[in-house]
Amino acid sequence: MVYDNACPPVAAPLLRRYRQYLLLERGFSANTLDAYLRDLDKLLGYYAAEGIDFRRVTLDELHTFVATLMDLGISARSISRILSGVHAFYRFLELEGEVETDPTELLESPQHGEHLPDVLSVGEIDSLIAAIDMEKAEGQRDRAILEMLYSCGLRVSELCGLRLGDLFLEEGFIHVHGKGKKERLVPVSGRATDELTAWFEQRAAITPKRGHEDYVFLSVRRGSALSRITVFHIVKMLCLKTGLRATISPHTFRHSFATHLLEGGANLRAIQEMLGHESINTTQIYMHLDRSHLRQEILEHHPRNLPAQ
């Protein structure tokens, strides 16, 4: 979640100098100045809530911030505007000697307008899952996470918020709590069910932190519910390990889920319901394929539900 709270106190003196820099050296108007500071507040509030020092933020953490904005449905144009302020702020920090290097140097803004998101092939998804080190304590948990992201098209926030009471595996579906307190039922593949079942065998040996007993996915070491940052980190590390493109995030599995369903012939309205989109216009982004092949039964068209060849 992106927080719009006030900037952390540690940043206040620096922000005063930054304001002077924008006003005097960059020659910004009052309106532009206020817009830059409001947008910067989103970044500083976000990292303050995540316990991350903005002076030590990495490119991967900045990618996570961008992906979180996208997950919240922020438009590409708005994200680009926010990132303009972020770029300016870190250039200022570098000039002031507050950071050694500018972490935003390789940070790109999303393209404006409607465009297709990154989509993984089934083979690439299998490669990411195969790269998980099953000798590690969290290996089975991470396999279950990736399968759930891909098989159910979940937002990362929905995955982290899953409770044991939301699972109806014998009936073949899960209860998802989406954005805006909207709820939906999503079919779950047999493969995802198998990975969850194997994870629950290991989860039984973990002592959950008080108040976290009902969360499906826990930290193996702390027993607390997983954060979105942890899931982003899992995906990023697997991408580095397999050599896949760096722009992949947990949200990429959601895009891949929708695109593969459409490629297989699923009905767009059914995909809309599975994704939890309010408007079918939001789902039109996936309609780059032949519409004549759309059909109703969604579970017949996801790769994870097709019989093995």
The highest-level CATH class for domain 9-95 is mainly alpha
Place of tokens 């303009």: 84
Q: Which of 232, 212, 233 is nearest to 161 (CA)?
A: 212
The catalytic site residues sit at: 155, 179, 251, 254, 277, 286
Decide if 76 contacts 113 (C-beta within 8 A). yes
More confident residue, 36 or 261: 36
Cα–Cα distance list, 100 to 12, 15, 18, 25, 65 (Å): 20, 18, 17, 21, 21
Cα–Cα distance list, 250 to 18, 57, 115 (Å): 34, 20, 18
- pTM of the shown model: 0.58
In three state form, how does the secondary structure of 92-133 look? HHHHCCCCCCCCCCCCCCCCCCCCCCCCCCHHHHHHHHHCCC
Share of the chain above pLDDT 70, in %: 77
pLDDT digits (tens, 9 = 90+) for 173-194: 899 988 767 888 888 888 999 9
Looking at the predicted structure, is the pLDDT value of residue 285 above 70? no
Decide if 217 contacts 160 (C-beta within 8 A). yes
CA terminus-to-terminus distance, the chain: 41
* Helices and strands: H and E segment counts in the chain: 12, 3
Handedness of CA 273, 215, 129, 104 (dihedral sign): positive
Looking at the predicted structure, is the pLDDT value of residue 293 above 70? no
Q: Which element (helix H / strand E) includes 154? A: none
Cα–Cα distance list, 61 to 46, 229, 232, 245 (Å): 11, 8, 9, 16
Amino acid letter, 305: N
Q: Give the integer Cα–Cα distance in Å for 249 and 251.
A: 5
Cα–Cα distance list, 161 to 87, 89, 104, 190 (Å): 32, 33, 30, 21
Decide if 71 contacts 79 (C-beta within 8 A). no
- Under the banding of pLDDT at 50, 70 and 90, the label for residue 58 is confident
More confident residue, 164 or 292: 164
pLDDT digits (tens, 9 = 90+) for 108-139: 776 654 444 577 888 999 999 999 999 999 99
Average pLDDT over residues 239-263: 82
The highest-level CATH class for domain 122-305 is mainly alpha
Decide if 64 contacts 26 (C-beta within 8 A). no
Q: Which of 16, 78, 4, 91 is nearest to 41 (CA)?
A: 4
Q: Where are the domains of the chain?
A: 9-95, 122-305
